[in-house]
Structure 1
Amino acid sequence: MKPLFLPPNPVQHFYLGGDRIAALRGITPETDRQPEEWLGSTVSRFGDSTVGLAVTADGALLRDVVAADPESWIGSSRGSVASDVGILVKLLDARQRLPVHVHPDRAFAGQHLNCPYGKTEAWFVLDTEPGCAFYVGWKDDVDRDELDKRRDAQDSEWMLAHMNRIEAVKGMGVLVPAETAHAIDGGIFVAEVQEPTDFSILLEWSITTSTREESHLELGFDTVLGAVSTSALTDAELAKLVSTSGASAAGPLLQSVLPESADPYFQLHQTAGAGHGTADVDAGFAVVLVTDGDGALAFDQGSVPVQRGDALVVPHAAGPWHVDGTASVLIARPGRGWPATLDSGDVR
């Protein structure tokens, strides 16, 4: 069983961007609001049954392909549903600042959204303009009533002033735990890995085409604010959310580019053939993005030629594999121990 190539899957959104995705994937943007591509997605946008779903080269929905043979694709039949691959991967190319927003954790999603996954996520910086930054968590404890007031007033300046600012560097990995308020400056291009949902709570919608009514997961702010942390992140806690390991050139070994605390939720590694071949990647479902060069993904059954801009999904049944040639790749996989970790609720 061999990998499947993923044709480009741009997603129209409420913010500007997408030109760097188009350049990498070899497409022409249809609008200036295609700032995301969902790679290997078997889940759709919140409130929509189809937007975001990945389609294979022969036109089939990946969701349906996986559901027809989960044992071959994930090595188990124990996902939350037959099409569950345990991860969602995106390219995110923001040309305006993203709004301050929050994602619920697994406990909240299980109670209010009938889903075993929340939306812990992480970013790996593919490119950035100078001076751009991430905003992650509060610098000091925030009063809940004050946050409600600032949200209602759409006081962007107050929100950003109370958040931790992390200047973006190419190759940086940033973990954003569920419940943590965050935003991204325009000018940053990332590969995003996350739990496989589309649950977002907007504290700030006025800089987007979204509305207040579209900002609370159809639950109302009185309910969803229970999924928003108002506690400060200490300097030590913030430091543990950032990794710079990916800033060094990829080599033949698998190099994790995210903080270790991401491992229960998802894994993201980089590796490069450099003309000599890489270490083996263990059997298991993976989303692969070729970020540079060309070469092949080599398996016991043969090899699949790849080049910069290609995206593929690798089934568990393909077995161990490695990269030949000069190709540099990102490899996104479900969290360590998945899908058994679903049985334990929130893994933090």
Structure 2
Amino acid sequence: MMEPLFLQPVFQERIWGGTALKTQFGYDIPSNHTGECWAISAHPNGPSIVKNGPFAGKTLIELWEEQPELFGNHPTKVFPLLTKILDANTDLSVQVHPDDEYANEHENGELGKTECWYIIDCKEGAELIYGHTAKTKEDFARMIEKDEWDQLLRRVKIKPGDFFYVPSGTIHALGEGTLVLETQQSSDTTYRLYDYGRVGQDGKTRELHIDQSIAVATIPHKNADVQEAISKVPGAEITTFVEAEYFTVYKWELDGKATFAQEKPFVLVSVIDGEADMMVAGKFYPIQKGDHFILPAEIEAIELDGRAKLIVSHV
């Protein structure tokens, strides 16, 4: 398999979603409350479908199970990563994710959820919630019970190009007017701690998961400081955002012609701006903003020519 696997995104409607996935990326979204583009997904709640080549029409789940050689015979039972684009048209609920051990025990064998965010765009003065102020679990529970959210939650100003690493156990929420590319473990387990008292279309408030949130939250909060490393190759600048247990994430900023070696079992690529020609094994593939693809194991290198920004990840 000497060609990339281009994938059809899956869209998820959310109470906090909007239309940025259409206006910014040109996607055919299902409604004006579309919150998530599951761009590279082998999760059963929204598996991507291959668009090209001999495996066109197959889901990524099927490929992982039936063609393990495409992924270097990676040993994990399920495809380990999930790439999303999130349109936070309004504030997301404040939430926290469990680690692998807790999720496996309490969520029918689901993976835990460590994730990270690259801020593609945001409104002036946008914020996100990252962490909390409680020093002990007792303080944490007491402040929740008394609705002391302004005192409990840590707010951080953001701007386009910022990157945040969000390990499991971190209290977090995207704020209104934020467009984010998220790289995460392949998990759909979220514990909702606070939702601003919002009601859904059914007129009811959404379920909260207070006990689970208290059980899995990291207390006291620990900042996951990111030490970005920038390197240059002819035609491109590479920013390494994080090299962590579950994933490594980069930004490739292309300004001309550049060659990238493929040294991992498989690599996930999302084009978040611009366009380029990609040459793989002597064949050209045009890529543009909104494209998402996987480079399988047998591809040894790719050549890109153009001006584009790409977010790249691997296990």
In structure 2, the CA distance between the partners of 1:33 and 1:149, relative to structure 1 (3 Å rule), is same
Post-superposition CA distance 1:42-78 (Å, at most 9, x none)? 0134xxxxxx211222433221122110122x20241
Which residue is equivalent to 2:103? 109
Which residue is equivalent to 2:198? 207
1:165 alignment partner, one of 135, 155, 158: 155
The CA distance in 1 between the partners of 2:137 and 2:184, in whole Å, is 28
Counterpart check, 1:272 vs 2:253: yes
Bigger Cα displacement from structure 2, 198-207 vs 313-322: 313-322
The CA distance in 2 between the partners of 1:126 and 1:21, in whole Å, is 12
The CA distance in 2 between the partners of 1:188 and 1:172, in whole Å, is 11
The CA distance in 2 between the partners of 1:208 and 1:252, in whole Å, is 47
Among the aligned pairs, what percent are the same residue?
Answer: 25
Aligned 1:274-293 pairs, distance under 5 A = 274-293=255-274
Bigger Cα displacement from structure 2, 107-116 vs 310-319: 107-116
SS for the counterpart of 2:20 is helix
Post-superposition CA distance 1:170-214 (Å, at most 9, x none)? 111101111111111111111001111011001113336397774
Which residue is equivalent to 1:340? none
Normalization by structure 2: what TM-score? 0.85
User: Hey, which of these two has a bigger chunk of helix by percent?
Assistant: 1
User: Hey, which of these two has a bigger chunk of strand by percent?
Assistant: 2
The answer to whether the 8 Å contact 2:226/2:241 transfers is no
Which residue is equivalent to 2:39? 39
Counterpart check, 1:133 vs 2:127: yes
1:75 partner letter: G
2:291 partner letter: D
Q: How far off its partner does 1:299 sit? A: 2.4
In structure 2, the CA distance between the partners of 1:77 and 1:174, relative to structure 1 (3 Å rule), is closer
In structure 2, the CA distance between the partners of 1:243 and 1:187, relative to structure 1 (3 Å rule), is farther
Which residue is equivalent to 2:73? 76
Which residue is equivalent to 2:311? 330
Which residue is equivalent to 1:254? 238
The answer to whether the 8 Å contact 1:253/1:278 transfers is no
Q: Which runs of 5+ in 1 are unaligned?
A: 46-51, 335-348
The CA distance in 2 between the partners of 1:163 and 1:70, in whole Å, is 43
In structure 2, the CA distance between the partners of 1:244 and 1:184, relative to structure 1 (3 Å rule), is farther
The answer to whether the 8 Å contact 1:278/1:322 transfers is yes
The answer to whether the 8 Å contact 1:44/1:198 transfers is no
SS for the counterpart of 1:108 is helix
Which residue is equivalent to 1:188? 178
The CA distance in 1 between the partners of 2:93 and 2:212, in whole Å, is 20
- RMSD (CA atoms): 2.8
In structure 2, the CA distance between the partners of 1:75 and 1:130, relative to structure 1 (3 Å rule), is same
The CA distance in 1 between the partners of 2:208 and 2:284, in whole Å, is 45
Post-superposition CA distance 1:9-56 (Å, at most 9, x none)? 211123232x222234322433222111011100134xxxxxx21122
Q: How many residues are paired up?
A: 305
Q: How far off its partner does 1:133 sit? A: 1.1
The CA distance in 2 between the partners of 1:21 and 1:131, in whole Å, is 21
The CA distance in 2 between the partners of 1:13 and 1:120, in whole Å, is 21
Counterpart check, 1:314 vs 2:295: yes
The answer to whether the 8 Å contact 2:228/2:240 transfers is no
Which residue is equivalent to 2:218? 229
The answer to whether the 8 Å contact 1:252/1:279 transfers is no
Q: How far off its partner does 1:145 sit? A: 6.9
Post-superposition CA distance 1:101-122 (Å, at most 9, x none)? 1000122123223437310111
In structure 2, the CA distance between the partners of 1:8 and 1:107, relative to structure 1 (3 Å rule), is closer
Normalization by structure 1: what TM-score? 0.78
The answer to whether the 8 Å contact 2:96/2:213 transfers is no
Post-superposition CA distance 1:259-312 (Å, at most 9, x none)? x5xx22212211133222244342432221112222223223533221222222
2:92 alignment partner, one of 95, 98, 104: 98
